[in-house]
Amino acid sequence: MRFYSKQHNYYCGIDLHTNKMYLCILDQEGEVVLHRNIKTKPDLFLRAIKPYRDDIVVCAECMFTWYWLADLCVDQEIPFVLGHALYMRAIHGGKSKNDKIDSRKIAGLLRGGLLPMAYVYPRKMRATRDLMRRRNHLMRKRAELLAHIQNTASQYNLDPPGSISKARNRKGLLNIFDDHPEVMLSVAANLDMIDTYDKVLSRLEIEIVRCAKGHDATSYALLKTIPGVGKILALILLYEIENIARFPRVQNFSSYCRLVKCAKESNGKKYGTSGKKIGNAHLRWAFSEAAQLFVRGSGAANQYYRKISNKHGKGKALSILAHKLGRAVYFMLKNRQGFDLNKFLAA
């Protein structure tokens, strides 16, 4: 957890919503100099903080509406801090809770150096990252349709259609449902949706790859040197990591990727683990997938996996492998070097 500890003359806490924003500005002594609810208009916001512009820092909680405010502060050269929503327990645990109280608490945490920070993703790559996340969402919906077709065949005790993820394997698929016209109609609707998803996903992937080569072609090429990591996983890693320099140590990176368990202890006694939802869920999924594909894509990796699975079991072995891949990615991007399988297996 990182805290914002820089000193300023004024501290502005904002409880931000889509149409309104509650501002609270504190001075160095903690006195409220402004406490006002305004519309989410850039000109109104700049007009409200104008008397305090000389040395002010602005903070908002990490909700889905923060993009425009962060970009506005960057353009106006105003320091902006993004509060980590899951760590900001102080604004959620009070007896009373409303926008006015929340904005006052955010400003107080900011002034006291106790505001937990989230990463303000830069504007340059942010839209492409969101497009990549949307692509992944659509791909999951496509997978649900494929699974529904498989399950429907099992419901009627029909021969399973096999692997139907590719279009060539779906030809004549409707024929196995000839005796069930309503079921055939349901499966036909699924197939039409899958064909539509295929066209949309193909178009999105072409655009994302083009953007990736313009944003950081070197890192994209380095990530694809890992056995089993192809175009999509490399894109997810590239856009979710963005800049490896923002992680001072490999331990910080592993924690952010949810690849390690966080110990929970007090007075020398351990009480299990905590913080399972803190970190980047997209990177956790990507490294889990990469671990399985890594085992399939390399004979030496498969042999190494069998060795550790005999000792720890298959599930834990994949988690260990995902963690090792996360550490390898950190040093690959930091040192600008490709993946070295011999070095990886010898570590």
Helix H or strand E segment including 266? strand 262-266
Pick from 118, 135, 169: which residue ends a domain? 118
Q: How deeply is 197 buried, as exposed, middle or buried, from its count of CB atoms within 10 A (0-12, 13-18, 19+)? A: middle
Kindly state whether residues 133 and 112 are assigned to the same domain: no
Q: How far is CA 204 from CA 24, 124, 260, in A?
A: 42, 18, 32
Band of residue 13 on the pLDDT scale cut at 50, 70, 90: very high
For 93-150, write each residue's pLDDT tens digit: 667 788 898 899 999 999 999 888 999 999 999 999 999 999 999 999 999 999 999 9
Provide φ and ψ at 197, rounded to 5°.
-60, -40
Provide φ and ψ at 116, rounded to 5°.
-70, 130
> Could you tell me which residue, 85 or 78, shows the higher pLDDT?
78
Q: What angle do CA 257, 263, 268 make, to 5 degrees?
A: 160
What is the C-alpha to C-alpha distance for residues 168 and 174, in angstroms, rounded to an integer? 13
| CATH code of the domain in which 15 resides | 3.30.420.40
Q: Is residue 12 part of a domain?
A: yes
Q: Is residue 170 part of a domain?
A: yes
What is the C-alpha to C-alpha distance for residues 1 and 117, in angstroms, rounded to an integer? 7
Kindly state whether residues 176 and 193 are assigned to the same domain: yes
Kindly state whether residues 60 and 15 are assigned to the same domain: yes
Please state the domain count of the chain. 3
Q: Is the model's pLDDT at 265 over the cut of 90? A: no
Percentage with pLDDT > 70 across the chain: 98
CA terminus-to-terminus distance, the chain: 29
Q: Is residue 222 part of a domain?
A: no
Q: Is residue 79 part of a domain?
A: yes
Pick from 87, 118, 149: which residue ends a domain? 118
Q: The domain containing residue 205 runs over which residues?
A: 125-215
Q: What is the CA radius of gyration of the chain?
A: 25
Kindly state whether residues 164 and 205 are assigned to the same domain: yes
Q: What is the pTM (predicted TM-score) of this model?
A: 0.86
Kindly state whether residues 113 and 148 are assigned to the same domain: no
CB 208 within 8 A of CB 202: no
Kindly state whether residues 196 and 277 are assigned to the same domain: no
Residue 52 CA from chain centroid, whole number: 35
Kindly state whether residues 204 and 244 are assigned to the same domain: no
Q: Is residue 261 part of a domain?
A: yes
What is the DSSP code (8-state) at residue 276?
T
Q: What angle do CA 217, 219, 222 make, to 5 degrees?
A: 110
Pick from 68, 96, 118: which residue ends a domain? 118
- Amino acid at position 62, single letter: C
